[in-house]
């Protein structure tokens, strides 16, 4: 189910730094474990808790907002180009930024209920585990508004022109 998304994540070009974040790594781990027949439910729950721990530490309301905030402060070829006020909205760099941001948005928009359903399928009828899965905290709202990245990228370009790129932007 998540195979295509995992391939797109592997194919990120500009925003690869975000993949090093603990919270993002935990979410990717959950997707991989749900794909893997041998992926243990305990490992999935550990990764789930890891996400929630980071969000609590960072005082983030949900993983979607957290990942989008990471993308605003990422330093990469696109954000540095914007900082220098050299971004061409029709150029390949901006198009790749849109492509990468769409993938990150899709990753960060995954519904907890969808993942919990897949976790229950792995639990194979164990009612106690089902109840425990239901009790896990949700770290994303059910409905996250869609971002129109072709328009949003213009705002991002202007933002980076004004604020720069990287951690101190």
Structure tokens at 100: 């990468």
Task: Output the average pLDDT for the chain.
Answer: 95
DSSP structure string for 8-58: HHHT-SS-GGGGGSHHHHHHHHHHHHHH-TT--HHHHHHHHHHHHHHHHHH
**CB count, 10 Å around CB of 132?**
14
Q: What is the pLDDT of residue 157?
A: 97
* Cα separation, 91 vs 105, whole angstroms: 21
Q: What is the pLDDT of residues 60-94, one digit of tens each?
A: 999 999 999 999 999 999 999 999 999 999 999 99
* Cα separation, 70 vs 124, whole angstroms: 36
Tell me the backbone φ, ψ of residue 116, rounded to 5 degrees: -65, -35
Q: What is the pLDDT of residues 57-69, one digit of tens each?
A: 999 999 999 999 9
Cβ neighbours of residue 5 closer than 8 Å, sequence gap 6 or more: 31, 103, 106, 107
Structure tokens at 94: 């901006």
**CB count, 10 Å around CB of 14?**
20
**CB count, 10 Å around CB of 31?**
22
For the four alpha carbons of 148, 149, 154 and 159, in that order, the dihedral sign comes to: positive
Q: What is the pLDDT of residue 123?
A: 86
The answer, as to whether pTM is greater than 0.85, is yes
Q: What is the pLDDT of residue 69?
A: 96
Tell me the backbone φ, ψ of residue 8, rounded to 5 degrees: -65, -40
Q: What is the pLDDT of residue 125?
A: 78
Task: Give the chain's residues under pLDDT 50.
Answer: none
* Cα separation, 76 vs 15, whole angstroms: 7
């Amino acid at each position: 189910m998540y195979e295509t998304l995992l391939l797109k994540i592997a194919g990120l070009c500009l925003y690869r730094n975000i993949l090093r974040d603990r919270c993002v790594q935990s979410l990717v781990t959950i997707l991989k474990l749900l794909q893997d027949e041998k992926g243990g439910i305990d490992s999935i729950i550990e990764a789930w808790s890891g996400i929630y721990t980071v969000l609590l530490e960072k005082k983030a309301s949900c993983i979607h907002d957290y990942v989008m905030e990471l993308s605003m402060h990422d330093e990469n070829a696109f954000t540095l180009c914007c900082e220098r006020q050299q971004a061409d909205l029709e150029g390949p760099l901006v198009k790749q930024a849109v492509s990468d941001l769409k993938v990150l948005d899709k990753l960060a928009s995954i519904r907890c209920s969808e993942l919990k359903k897949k976790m229950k399928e792995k639990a194979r009828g164990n009612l106690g585990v089902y109840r425990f899965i239901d009790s896990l905290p949700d770290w994303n709202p059910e409905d996250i508004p869609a971002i129109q990245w072709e328009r949003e990228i213009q705002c991002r370009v202007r933002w980076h022109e004004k604020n720069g790129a990287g951690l101190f932007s």
